[in-house]
Structure 1
Amino acid sequence: MIRVLLVSPSSGTRRALEHVVAQDPGLVIVGASDSLESLDGVIDQSRPEVIVLDPGPESHLPLPVLLKHGPSRKATPLVVLLEDLESEVGARALRAGARAALPHTASPKEIHAAIRAAAAGLASLPAAVAMTVLDGKSNDGARAPVDTGDHTLTPREGEILTLLGEGLVNKQIGVRLGISEHTVKTHLAAIYEKLDASNRAEAVATGLRRGLIML
């Protein structure tokens, strides 16, 4: 059973999310919150494996603001439901630390799949949005800005980034590749620097956007 915490300032939205999540027997709701500010306390009590956030009217705010809830939240995978999910918004959500960004029109099956993927350490976007992100274009067809710096990953770094996208932790990556956990950490530091990422979610999101990995 995957433990899910629901967060939305709207009681109606929370009830709707409860109904959706309850349709999957493999998911269990361990709590609900109407406040982003008090989220850390709720997390400490409910110990969720995934947080589903529907910010409602606050969805117009910059995603880094919505996703900044302190050290406890950073360790918990986050699925965000947004009013207007454009490709660049979805990419920013992943870079800001979310594991998935979905539109409010997402079906229960899509929400269930996103929760399960987040719990497994995977990042996900709707197919149409993901293709746009991978192609490096915005919705108006314009090519997204490309950093011309030398950020080329070595073959080994590419392997590790792919395994990050699959949700493996350092020890598992080391076993899979036949290298020590210390060596994995060294490669991760290089990956973060080259991709200008501060955590795994950002690295995977950037890898997706640049077409370095496919999930």
Structure 2
Amino acid sequence: MSKSYFTTGVSALFEMPTSDAERILPPHLQPIEVRPQRSILSVTAFHFRESEVGPYAQLLLSVVVPPIVGSWERHPKAGFYPFLGATSSAVSRKHMAETLRIPTHPEDIDAQFIERPDRIEVRIRSEGAPVVDVSVTQHEWYPTTHLLQSHMIDGDLRLKADVQISGHYTMHEHERGRLQLHAHPITSALTLDEVSPYPFREHWLKEGVELFHPVEQL
């Protein structure tokens, strides 16, 4: 089990073309549509202050998919297929690729987490070029734990892992955040001008822990 402690994190859901989602996903996974021909892109960024590979910043781009139902006591809220991750250090990229089995961008990112009175802005750059600018806004804060499910592949192997995230948390669907995706190798799988710039769900987390459970073969 991989345990990482974060100071802050954001996760926002945006409409994306189903044609992109189906092209990105492996054949055994199907996207969830919010309306005909519009699926869900998840943009997630964390600042990890402590982990088994030291502190680092992380960006994950994922397509939302149905979770595999387990026991009722441990039913994941959502499933994700992280099609690309980017981090601020080589050792964290190696951990993401070899232990978590998530594809990674080969270069470091620089991530700025800028807190305002009512929002947080995250600016991701790589080798001086802009990659992602995303903001989410504040609602009511409360402590919570979420169980999610990550789907990965390794060659012909179909893999999954449960991901448990605990911390102080605010979530809403008021569409006050904003996303700007820049043309970059990290975003090259997406048709940029067809991704909604406004999230239909916004999450902001503080002072918590992410538990990435052991990867299982399906």
Task: Give the TM-score range, shorter chain.
Answer: under 0.3
Q: Relative to total residues, which structure has the larger helix share, 1 or 2?
A: 1
**Which structure dedicates a bigger proportion of its chain to strand?**
2
TM-score (norm 1): 0.27
Based on CA coordinates, which of the two structures has the bigger radius of gyration? 1
TM-score normalised by structure 2 residue count: 0.26
